[in-house]
């Protein structure tokens, strides 16, 4: 079966124009990716703007396919959700990310927190709380070490059952961040219904800081909103020093982006990690 998979894959790479067939092949190859150990995590640091200190990492999954190379999540996560294998991938990501944080602990590297992205299909899964609990237990992680990132659309009109699940996860000592904040719908009612810790300001608002007064106004408003709700803010996609300066001045807590580091495999990271402002 393994051999057949390889042949199929060569077909796929040979300029196939039939989208449906390409997809079918991709599906079949992706189904085995977890079992073959082809998924890898890259880690991107989150920095406290005021001190330059490392506050945590976000784990970002990649598919390391022998022929395709490193496939970015945007090219396989939506497919994995569609064909019903996101649960397996999500469980692997959660366990691997927790294990990595525990490994850093064992090596004496002080990494306060690990952020992991959740798919909407995982929130809908009744087994999520148990999965999170077992990942924490297996890695021996205490409270406030794991943060789950959920998007606004996943929280929109969140059913009672999902709300109960998020409360249960929260009571395990897990933190919750809203990813891509500002890009979902304008209904903010979920902010008062859910036990959140952090808002991640979407990179589309951060990109044009210094060039677009409207984006700056939106960033200011998100920071003010978060502060009045007792939430922290994380700016995503910070690439330039002047953006970090603006964000610090406006009271944003944390920053993440190429200015500090691209997402990197654990073996490429160097500790201790601290980013001083000159």
**Which residues contribute to the site for Ca ion (CB under 5 A)?**
117, 149, 179-180, 208, 212, 215, 236
Q: Between 196 and 235, how does the x/- string for binding to ligand C2E read (CB under 6 A)? A: -------x--------------------------------
Local structure of residue 56 (DSSP, 8 states): E
In sequence order, which residues have a C-beta less than 8 Å from that of residue 164 and are 6 or more positions away?
none
Task: Closer to ligand C2E by CB, 226 or 257: give it.
Answer: 257
In sequence order, which residues have a C-beta less than 8 Å from that of residue 180 and are 6 or more positions away?
151, 152, 200, 202, 236
Is residue 147 part of the contact set for ligand C2E (CB under 6 A)? no
Minimum distance, C-beta of residue 164 to ligand C2E, in the bound complex (Å): 21
Nearest to 137 by CA among 93, 87, 171, 102: 102
Rounded CA-CA distance 148/42 in Å is: 16
Is residue 125 part of the contact set for ligand C2E (CB under 6 A)? no
**Of positions 26, 48, 77, 141, contacts ligand C2E by CB under 6 A:** 77
Please state whether the peptide bond connecting residue 272 to the residue before it is cis, i.e. omega within 30 degrees of 0. Answer: yes
Task: Closer to ligand C2E by CB, 27 or 240: give it.
Answer: 240
Task: Closer to ligand C2E by CB, 12 or 57: give it.
Answer: 57
Residue 222 in contact with residue 253, Cβ under 8 Å? Answer: no
Positions in the binding site for ligand C2E (CB under 6 A): 44, 60-61, 72-74, 77, 90, 93, 117, 119, 179-180, 203, 236-239, 257-258, 263
């Amino acid at each position: 079966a393994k051999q057949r998979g390889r042949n199929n894959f060569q077909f796929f790479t040979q300029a196939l124009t039939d989208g449906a067939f390409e997809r079918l092949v991709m599906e079949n190859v992706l189904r085995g990716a977890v079992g073959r150990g082809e998924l890898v995590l890259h880690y991107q640091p989150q920095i406290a703007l005021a001190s330059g200190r490392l506050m945590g990492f976000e784990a970002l999954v990649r598919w390391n396919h022998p022929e395709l190379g490193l496939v970015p999540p945007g090219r396989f996560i939506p497919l994995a959700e569609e064909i019903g294998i996101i649960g397996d991938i999500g469980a692997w990501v959660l366990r691997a990310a927790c294990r990595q944080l525990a490994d850093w602990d064992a090596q004496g590297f002080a990494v306060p927190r690990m952020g992991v992205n959740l798919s909407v299909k995982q929130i809908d899964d009744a087994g999520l709380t148990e999965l999170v609990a077992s990942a924490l237990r297996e890695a021996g992680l205490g409270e406030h070490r794991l943060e789950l990132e959920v998007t606004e659309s996943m929280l929109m009109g969140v059913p009672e059952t999902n709300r109960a699940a998020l409360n249960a996860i929260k009571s395990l000592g897990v933190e919750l961040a809203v990813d891509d904040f500002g890009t979902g719908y304008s209904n903010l009612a979920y902010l008062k219904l859910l036990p959140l810790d952090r808002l991640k300001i979407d990179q589309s608002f951060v990109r044009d800081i210094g060039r677009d007064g409207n984006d700056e106004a939106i960033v200011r408003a998100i920071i003010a909103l978060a502060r009045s709700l007792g939430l922290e803010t994380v700016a995503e996609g910070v690439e330039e020093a002047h953006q970090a300066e603006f964000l610090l001045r406006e009271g944003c807590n944390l920053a993440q982006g190429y200015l500090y580091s691209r997402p990197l495999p654990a073996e490429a990271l160097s500790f201790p990690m601290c980013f001083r402002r000159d």
